[in-house]
A and B are shown apart, each in its own frame.
Chain A
Amino acid sequence: MKSMTASEAVIKPTAAQNIGSSRTLHRVLHRYAPEVLALLGGAVVWECLGWWLGLQWLPPFSQVIRALVQFVGSGVILSNLQSSLMSLIVGFALSLVFGLVLGALMGRYRVIEKAFDVYVHALFVCPSILFAPIFFAMFGLSDASRVAIIFVYSTFVIVINTATAIRTVDPSLVEMAYSFGCRERQIFTRILLPASLPLVFAGIRLGMGRAVKGMINGEMLIAFVGLGALAQKYGAQFDAAKVFAIAMVVLIIGLVSNAFVQALESRLTRWAD
């Protein structure tokens, strides 16, 4: 399919220039055809099942969209989205810094790994939402509670991935660097960091996803603001259409943040393809 469009473009270069924008659209549709079809199909099935079954918890897709439009129109989504994103950015930024630094140290130094490994794995395995009541007690209803929840959700997967990434860097590269007289700092900046980037980014992506989860879970449990609190409110009212509408907003946040990390990743690790 792809090579066919490529050869068409070679044969008709002037035509492609004339109708450039429609061609781009055509190409995008071509490339994402399976995804677009799957989404459209899912919406149709949802819509049909919604009308046909008439279940309270499964409103037709069109009603979810209507609720979403209402939300956006009334500004409810925007204000809550803002507050959610703020805590997401702060919480994730903190976990990124902490996770990368601790992970790098654990990956490089056996002693540090031995000392922290049990904590990191315990906190990674433990359901992070368990800490919600503790953070609530510590920080009350402030944003700090939500930031803290997001932090515990996303940090440890970043630590574990970064440590593994650093530990598994090809030792012959490190030896080569030593042979040219590299000091420890140069080993880090010139060998370990670039070599570990692909795996580090895998951890960052997982951490990003977990941060979004942490944001919603934290808000549902301990906040009166944000998307999670909104979902909690309408959930209590059994308004499924509105809950689904919020879920779609969360989904979009997840997709956009993932696309952002992925774009950064492919810029920095093109060599590893």
Chain B
Amino acid sequence: MIRVKNLTKEFGGTDNGGGVLALSDISFEVRDNEFVTVIGPSGCGKTTLLRIIAGLIPYQHGEVSIDAHPVVGPGPERAVVFQSFALLPWTDVLGNVTFGLDVRGATKSDSQAKARDLIRLVGLEGFERRLPKELSGGMQQRVGLARALAVNPRILLMDEPFGALDEQTRRLLQEQLLQLWERERKTVVFITHSMEEAVMLGDRVMLMTPRPGQVKEMIAVPLKRPRPPDIEKSPAFVEIKEYLWENLRAMQTEQP
């Protein structure tokens, strides 16, 4: 279980203040095997929140813990999928997928066998020896996903993973992610700026306010799983999406 309690994050400044308040008094929990999507206006600190949970940046006040262990840095139970893919341009698909296993000291044959399984799982069989620059954006992010899954994390932290992709590719990857999730039911925190994506993927949607980011509302998504591709047409889906948009629009117009 991921537990965030009264989390406040300030960038820059000193002990006496003067910095930029990115997150203010955030509290929420993500249960095991739960898929939580996080949406909010641009600059609300959702990526900052994810990076704090990932242990990539420090925080000043509050508690962030995984199964009651405070987060003090990255850990083997968590893996991150990045918006920019963050693939190593000098090594091929196989080399990228084995990265996490290699740095954790797995033997070469183990990590390669594991990586080949995952490459197959994300549908990139036959591309093992291609360099990232030879792949489309969608394929690159599949490599990013396979790399994260390779270390077998219990928690998957996804930072707008499909944000840089075109609409069609994004739809395909969303469907694929749903299928993958049905098999393993990992705990997922998924940052997005797409309302459709937030509702389609999440068990709950966390709606955040503009800077400083706060939790406006946790919205349960009562759509049954496994979710079919045409879920968007269901009245419940449309209703939640509209509700999100009303809220987000109100936040945007309140801002100067």
Contacts and interface: CB of A to CB of B under 8 A. Distances in A.
Given A175-B56, A176-B80, A271-B131, A182 B103 contact: yes
Contacts of A269: 90
Nearest to A198: B90
Contact of B90 (A176, A182, A194): A194
A159 to B, nearest CB: 23
B89 A180 contact: no
B76 A181 contact: yes
A180 B74 CA distance: 7
B100 interface: yes
B82 interface: yes
A195 interface: yes
A272 B131 CA distance: 10
B188 interface: no
A271 B95 CA distance: 13
A173 interface: yes
How many B residues are at the interface, by size bracket? 20 to 34
B90 A180 contact: no
Interface centre among B55, B75, B99 (most CB of A within 10 A): B99
A220 interface: no
A182 B104 CA distance: 8
A3 interface: no
Q: Is the interface of B mostly helix, strand, loop or mixed?
A: loop
A186 interface: yes
Given A181-B75, A181-B76, A176 B86 contact: yes
Chain A: interface residue count, which band?
A: 20 to 34
B54 A179 contact: yes
Interface string A171-207: 0110111111110001000110011010000000000
Contact of B82 (A172, A191, A194, A271): A172
B103 A179 contact: no
Contacts of B91: 194, 271
A181 B104 contact: yes
A248 to B, nearest CB: 39
Contacts of A170: 86
A176 B74 contact: no
B2 interface: no
Contact of A179 (B80, B102, B133): B80
B149 interface: no
B103 A271 contact: no
Contacts of B74: 178-181
5 contacts: A170-B86, A172-B84, A179-B56, A181-B74, A194-B90
Interface of A: 170, 172-173, 175-182, 186, 190-191, 194-195, 197, 269, 271-272
